[in-house]
Structure 1
Amino acid sequence: MQPTPDFDAAGLARSLLRRSRQGALATLMADSGDPYCSLVNVASDADGAPILLISRLALHTRNILGDSRVSLMLDERAQGDPLEGSRIMLAGRAEEADGDGLETPRRRYLNAHPSAEAFVNFKDFSFFRIRPKGAHLVAGFGRIVDLKPEQFLTDISDTGALLEAEQGAIEHMNADHREAMNLYATRLLGASPADWRCTGCDPDGLDMQAGTHALRLDFPRRIVAPAELRQMLKELADRARAAASI
């Protein structure tokens, strides 16, 4: 059965990648090749690819070091029947981040999981980035789609300045604009009032989190520079305040 014409499969896949904080990681046993599944915390890299912080003492890490092929399932964790919620299964390879490629995954993971600061520097822990080769999205009857990476990953080839400014923007929003963050969450996304904080921004949107709840605020247009980000956040704040006054 083909998906309905109004179904934005790529948009939903991107949203699941950005909002998910836990997932089921499947690896291959190093000695037998048998499948092995484990629960892991996840964050998203600048392009949306999943980031893991895992210990070399863990069986799934030893499996990855023997065979980097993995799959990762992320779901909406909605109340009620879990099978009625959307989920995405990524297939690809897990690659260890090191050297110059470590800074962004480390920063973005710790923004999403601040409690990991307690063990991130332990020698047995390492960051891994999953490089997807495809995804299988299930979002209900008539909404099952296979996607290629270019359909659900964000193009960051022209956004170097924006990504360099990302952490400063996050810290500024959390220090000086928590009211705006709460308005984004409640008035634009329909969430309940909470201590919403910014955990990431990229060309396509803003990531927010309050406790274990994560939200994704998609931008109405793509941005590639810090000045565009400032303008976008102001526009969204104005829109949220206007909605609050109705």
Structure 2
Amino acid sequence: MTESPAEIIRGLIRAQDRATLATKMRDAPETIEGAGAPYASLVLMACGQDASPLLLLSTLADHTKNLLADPVVSLMIDGTRGLADPLTGARATLQGRVEKTEDHELLARYTRRHPSAAMYAGFGDFSLYRMTVQRAHLVAGFGRIHWVGGDEVMYDASGAASLAAQEAGVVEHMNDDHGDAVGLYANVLLNLPGVGWRLTGVDPEGADLRRGGDVARLSFDKPVSDAESVRVELVRLVKRARNA
């Protein structure tokens, strides 16, 4: 089945672990256009169960100082890595507002996605920020260009509260007791080499994997909403991998 533009954008958010954040300079030297000039920077990204982007930022960074003065930002997500001609691949620019969140489940989700962030997540100058996407611009190759409303991009995760609460336990159980299955997901279903792949998250639409600096996305065939439905889907996928 062909994915809609909104589904492609959401897939990019879920699959990528970094993005380019564009904020408005709160001030600037007189030699350039002055305050309000665009400022772009590399950020590490995770996302919530609904796919809303999550950023762990320091107040010492210019981009954080900028968005605290004006929370309206753009976030560019690039899914073209590894393509011989990157212009044939999908990329999306999200527009919206970024605000600080104290949600501990979201912070845990972020640090599982980025294990190195656990070292500084507790520092006083670091906080987690969540982006509310108002609209998104997708370019998915020549001639495939779409503007999409943010409400279309986001996944309605209102029925997945149990999954959010149980996610940490599911991930820990899979990595500790079923590491061979996680390896099969990566090696067989995703055709990715190497040992040491680990699960970092599960959401209604799929699971996230990581091995060192490499990340991967394993999509589910049907949505899940709690630990039991995740278990059923993961068992089905490992059986598919073993049969392959």
State if a TM-score over 0.5 links the two structures: yes
Please name the residue that 1:186 is paired with. 187
Provide the rounded CA distance (Å) in 2 between the counterparts of 1:168 and 1:220.
22
Residues 8-47 of structure 1: matches in 2 within 5 Å? 8-31=4-27, 32-47=35-50
Q: 1:69 aligns with which of 68, 72, 75?
A: 72
Residue 39 of structure 1 deviates from its aligned partner by 0.9
**Which amino acid letter does the alignment assign opposite residue 202 of structure 1?**
D
Counterpart position of 2:32: none
Counterparts of residues 135-214 of structure 1 (less than 5 Å): 135-214=136-215
Flag structure 1 segments of 5+ consecutive residues without an equivalent: none
Q: What is the SS of the residue equivalent to 2:73?
A: strand
Give distance in 2, aligned partners of 1:209 and 1:173.
13
3-state DSSP of counterpart to 1:222: coil
Q: Secondary structure at the match of 2:129?
A: strand
Please state whether the residue corresponding to 1:54 is helix, strand or coil.
strand
What's the offset of the Cα at 1:6?
4.0
- Structure 2 distance, partners of 1:21, 1:223, is 22
Note the residue ranges of structure 2 that are not aligned, 5 or more in a row.
Answer: 28-34
| Equivalent residue letter for 2:67 | I
Distance 1:72 1:174 in 2: 31
Q: Tell me the residue number matched to 1:88.
A: 92
What percent of counterpart residues are identical?
42
Deviations 1:170-222 (A, max 9, x none): 00111111111111122222222332111111111111111222111111111
Is 2:63 the partner of 1:60?
Answer: yes
Q: Tell me by how many angstroms 1:151 deviates.
A: 2.6
Q: CA deviation at 1:8?
A: 3.6
Give, in angstroms, the shift of residue 105 of structure 1. 1.9
Shift of 1:125: 0.8
Query: In 1, Cα distance between the equivalents of 2:5 and 2:114?
Result: 27
CA contact (8 A) 1:7 1:143 kept: no
Residue 97 (str. 1) matches residue 127 (str. 2): no
Aligned Cα RMSD in Å? 1.5
Aligned residues: 236
Distance 1:190 1:49 in 2: 28
Contact 2:162 2:226 in 1 (8 A): yes
